[in-house]
Amino acid sequence: MSNRLILGDNLEILKDMPSNSVDLCYIDPPFFSNRNYEVIWGDSGEIASFKDRWSGGIEHYINWLYERVVEIHRVLKDTGSFYLHCDWHANNYIAVNILDKIFGRNNFRNEIVWCYKTRPQAKCYFGRKHDTIFLYTKTNKYVFNWEAVVRPLSDSTRMKYKLSDMDGRLYRLEGRGIKGSPIKSAKDVEAKWEKTNPELVVRDYLDEKVGVALEDWWEINTINQSSHELIGYPTQKPVALLERIIKASSNEGDMCLDCFCGGGTTISAARKLNRQFIGIDQSVQAIKVTQARLEKETDLFNNAPFVVKVHKYDYDMVRESEAFEFERFIIEQFGGEANIKQRGDYGIDGIKKDNKINIPIQAKRSDNVGRNIVDNFETSMRRYYQSLSKQIPANVTAGYIIAFSFSKGAVEEVARLKREENIIIKLIKVEEIIPIAKKPKIEIGYEWKEVEAKTDLLPKCTDKKIIFKIKSADNSKIELYQWDFNYNKDKGFKADIFMDKTGMQERIFESGSYDIAAKAIDSDGLECIEELRIIVNGGVKGTKSEPIIKQA
Ligand SMILES: C[S@@+](CC[C@H](N)C(=O)[O-])C[C@H]1O[C@@H](n2cnc3c(N)ncnc32)[C@H](O)[C@@H]1O
């Protein structure tokens, strides 16, 4: 399995995943909370799922979640762990009606309480300042790396290691716990014991201490407006929380799944910690924010590659792919087997098994495929069937040609073959095999104005504020824009702004030359990148200098 992000309803995607394939699954599903605050992205996928959950009360929510947890349990390995993140709205229902039923009470390991201090303070009851994270394992043999997530020793504990050996290693003395020993507690041990009664004491070295094993209450700060991790996603969880979970319940190379991945915290942490990952979300925006997050982190933390599966394939990308790569991909998507050797194939690119006959396939990465291709294919088919000591079978499908589109001549020839020679060749368009669409097209427009500089220096001077505005060049519906204000084509798009619904950004620039790129993403998850180089000729600050911007 490869690292991947998948757009879609997790129930359907989980059903397609093999059993016993995941080591760790963490989910942070939409809480059974105030429904008005729940729609985050507002895209069509999210609204559909939102309605799905809210058409009934808590029972409906529990049923909705239950069927997903059944699938998660199935895809987990026998040594796998499951963390379910929820809060007071539904945690009692979830534990009893979902987790105990599916995983079994005996596989309950922890109810982790994640405590935080946020506003507002409650006045009618105690402030509800924790979330609950349930940990269940599939069986009683599971990964738990307690040493990977220990709490460091406190200063006061460290201070107790006052003695130093010949090598300078710090230690303290502990009683050996011998029956009748006068040493009843650590307090009773004194340095002199080591000389006078060495059999009663043992050295406890500081450098052998890994730390304190963690308890089930965790104090980790929530993401706030000044957090450096902030990507603008309202229910974004802190990386420290997910790192702890991943380190404790998986090993390097293990497969981690988050099928409600949102802004991709689990996925980013898993990749950073050298785990494999699968992220699923039904919102285009969530998947694309996660993708941008991973792309930004590439080179910084980890270069592990990943694929992103959205609703449609990009026409240009498929059309411009390398010929053999295209043949292989489209034939496999069609349910056939590609001819990898590309030799001794009688001009056949692959076969499709149908009632035990291997029907030949020809795949063309072109539009308007003409009659000559049908003629050539007919010859290839004859040779192919002859090699199997057969005639071209009559009145059943004898061959397939796959292409982007077919000419009138090709269609007429196929009809003639059927009518006059009982040979049936099926012409299959790529769009009948895979959902395919053109990516959106955009233009970046800009204007500028002078604004008073934020400085106390006198005389007051001005800055050049540039306002960028994206226009659609083909009327496609754009769900999300992202911006890279320091674009470097070789390094790829590294978002500075992950979530922009308006397509408008303002920035103040010093004099200089800047490469800027904007990405626009449509509702199918297809995206385009538009670049712009601007040269800001600031002239002397405080004077009106013109022109200030040139598009290179
Ligand atoms: C609370 S958020 C997850 C936040 C995430 N833990 C983070 O740190 O960014 C829940 C996510 O579940 C997604 N979701 C809701 N129903 C879904 C479904 N049926 N299939 C896949 N994703 C779903 C929503 O789109 C949303 O992004």
Residues 134 and 166 in one domain: no
Can you give the CATH number for the domain in which 502 is found?
Answer: 2.60.40.10
User: Smallest Cα–Cα separation from 264: which of 241, 246, 280, 240?
Assistant: 280
**Among 252, 278, 309, where does a domain finish?**
309
- Tell me, in angstroms, the distance from the centre of ligand 1 to residue 144's CA: 26
**C-alpha 38 to ligand 1 mean position (Å):** 10
- pLDDT given for residue 547 in this prediction: 43
For residue 325, the CA-to-ligand 1 centroid distance in Å is 34
The finding on whether 287 has its CB within 6 A of some atom of ligand 1 is no
- Per-residue pLDDT reduced to its tens digit, 388-422: 888 888 899 999 999 999 999 999 999 999 999 99
| 364 and 225 in a common domain | no
Both 320 and 403 in one domain: the answer is yes
pLDDT tens string 323-339: 889 999 999 999 999 98
Residue 372 φ/ψ, nearest 5 degrees: -60, -35
- Rounded to the nearest angstrom, the distance between the alpha carbon of 127 and the centre of ligand 1 is 25
Q: Ligand 1 within 6 A of 49 CB?
A: yes
Q: What is the pLDDT of residues 282-295, one digit of tens each?
A: 999 999 999 999 99
What single letter denotes the amino acid at residue 446? Y
Residues whose CB falls within 8 Å of the CB of residue 39, separated by 6 or more in sequence, listed in order: 46, 47, 50
| CA distance from start to end of the chain | 44
Q: Is 46 in the pocket of ligand 1 (CB under 6 A)?
A: yes
Rounded CA-CA distance 514/468 in Å is 13
Ligand 1 site, residue 262, Cβ cutoff 6 A: yes
For residues 546 and 506, give the distance between their C-alpha atoms in angstroms, rounded to a whole number.
20
State the Cα–Cα distance between residues 352 and 356, nearest whole angstrom. 9
Residue 96 has pLDDT above 90, yes or no: yes
How many beta carbons lie within 10 A of that of residue 383, not counting itself?
Answer: 13
Residue 28 CA to ligand 1 centre (angstroms): 7
At 420, phi and psi to the nearest 5? -95, -25
Is the Cβ–Cβ distance between 233 and 289 less than 8 Å?
Answer: yes
CA-nearest residue for atom 26, ligand 1, is: 262
Q: Based on the fold, state whether residues 398 and 419 are members of the same structural domain.
A: yes
Q: What is the pLDDT of residue 260?
A: 97
Whole-number pLDDT of residue 538: 60
Contacts of 178 (CB under 8 A, 6+ apart): 199, 200
User: Does the structure show a pLDDT above 70 at 45?
Assistant: no
Looking at residue 313, its amino acid is: Y
Contacts of 431 (CB under 8 A, 6+ apart): 404
33 lies in the same domain as 90: yes
Specify the number of domains making up the chain: 4
Q: Which of 434, 461, 492 is the last residue of a domain?
A: 434
| 8 A C-beta contact, residue 275 and residue 255 | yes
- Residue-wise pLDDT for 434-447, tens only, equals 999 999 999 998 88
The single-letter code of the amino acid at 295 is E
Q: Give the residue whose CA is nearest to atom 22 of ligand 1.
A: 281
User: Do residues 139 and 80 touch, judged by C-beta distance below 8 A?
Assistant: no
Instruction: Based on the fold, state whether residues 131 and 236 are members of the same structural domain.
Output: yes
- What is the chain's mean pLDDT, rounded? 88
285 within 8 A of 479, measured Cβ to Cβ: yes
Chain mean position to CA 428: 33
Kindly report which listed range (21-30, 194-203, 244-253) carries the lowest average pLDDT score: 194-203
User: Best mutation site among 34, 229, 239, 260 for ligand 1, i.e. most ligand atoms within 8 A of its Cβ?
Assistant: 260
Model confidence at 41, in pLDDT bands (50, 70, 90)?
low
Nearest atom in ligand 1 to the alpha carbon of residue 260 is: 12
Ligand 1 nearest-atom number relative to CA 242: 8
User: 395, 415, 434 — which closes off a domain?
Assistant: 434
Measured from the CB, is residue 463 less than 6 Å from ligand 1? no
Q: Check pocket membership of 263 for ligand 1, CB cut-off 6 A.
A: yes
- Ligand 1 within 6 A of CB of 339: no
Query: Same domain, yes or no, for 375 and 464?
Result: no
pLDDT score, position 508: 85
Q: Are 235 and 40 in contact (CB under 8 A)?
A: yes
Q: Residue 39 sits in a domain of what CATH number?
A: 3.40.50.150
Three-state DSSP state, 539: coil
pLDDT bucket at 43, cuts 50 / 70 / 90: low
Shared domain for 230 and 291, answered yes or no, is yes
Predicted local distance difference test score (pLDDT) of residue 34? 45
Of the candidate ranges 40-54, 216-230, 350-364, 489-503, the one whose mean pLDDT is the lowest? 40-54
Domain interval for residue 160 = 155-208
Tell me the C-alpha distance between 520 and 530, whole Å: 8
Site of tokens 């470097």: 488
pLDDT at 36: 46
Weakest mean pLDDT among 47-61, 78-92, 471-485, 507-521: 47-61
Longest dimension (CA), the chain: 111
- Identify the pLDDT of residue 374: 95
The answer to whether residues 94 and 104 touch, using CB atoms and an 8 Å cutoff, is no
Average pLDDT over residues 111-122: 88
The CATH number given to whatever domain includes residue 402 is: 3.40.1350
- Of 82-91, 191-200, 248-257, 466-475, which gets the smallest average pLDDT? 191-200
Whether residues 546 and 518 fall in one domain: yes
Kindly state whether residues 203 and 276 are assigned to the same domain: no
Structure-block tokens of residue 275:
């785990």
Compare 99 and 508 and report the one with higher pLDDT: 99
Closest ligand 1 atom to Cα of 45: 25
Of residues 342 and 496, more confidently modeled: 496
Q: Which of 27, 261, 278 to mutate to test the pocket of ligand 1 (most atoms within 8 A of CB)?
A: 261
Residues 381 and 525 in one domain: no
Query: Is the pLDDT reported for residue 552 higher than 80?
Result: no
Is the model's pLDDT at 18 over the cut of 90? Answer: yes
For range 194-207, the mean pLDDT:
82
Return all residues near 324 (Cβ < 8 A) that are at least 6 apart.
Answer: 342
**Residues 275-281, mean pLDDT to the nearest whole number:** 98
Pair (138, 258) in one structural domain: yes
**Percent of all residues in the chain with a pLDDT value above 70, rounded to a whole number:** 88
State which amino acid sits at residue 242: L
